[in-house]
Amino acid sequence: MLPIDKQVVLARMNGIEKEVGMLKKLAELSYDTYKTEPNFQLGEYHLHRGLEGVFNIAAHINSRKAGGSSGGGYKDIARTYGELGFIEKDFAQNNLVKMAGYRNRLVHFYADITPEETYKLITSNIDDFTVFLQSVRKVLEHPELFGVTVE
């Protein structure tokens, strides 16, 4: 199996952390301020970029473990990340799968996205990014626990 490319993963993690930082700033706004331009559009933008980073990293790591792959849809990537033991299965099945679904909504149903739903996500579910990033750090620091290697 190929090793996890640590530099690639760290760069993407840094990108996610920047997006989350921007989302946290937007979450500090009142809803009435958030729903005005350009705040709502910025919320969509940073959510989309953060979610793309999550699934890019998960696909990369999944593909480095025997029995894993980087293929399938985003929800498959989320489930596999949990099934391979990189994160708790329950978190993968519930939170990561929902994140994948929202990523798909942002890409394919962008015209239906409302300020209310993105505001709710950034004020209520932003910590899901942190949980995911913690799992990635653990994989990078202790790859032997997960049956992978890191270069």
CATH of domain 6-140: 1.20.120.580
Structure-token pair, residue 1 = 């199996």
pTM of the prediction?
Answer: 0.95
Mind listing the pLDDT tens digit for each residue in 77-126? 999 999 999 999 999 999 999 999 999 999 999 999 999 999 999 999 99
Mind listing the pLDDT tens digit for each residue in 136-148? 999 999 999 999 9
Are 85 and 146 within 8 A, CB to CB? yes
* Closest C-alpha to 50, from 111, 105, 128: 128
Q: Where are the domains of the chain?
A: 6-140
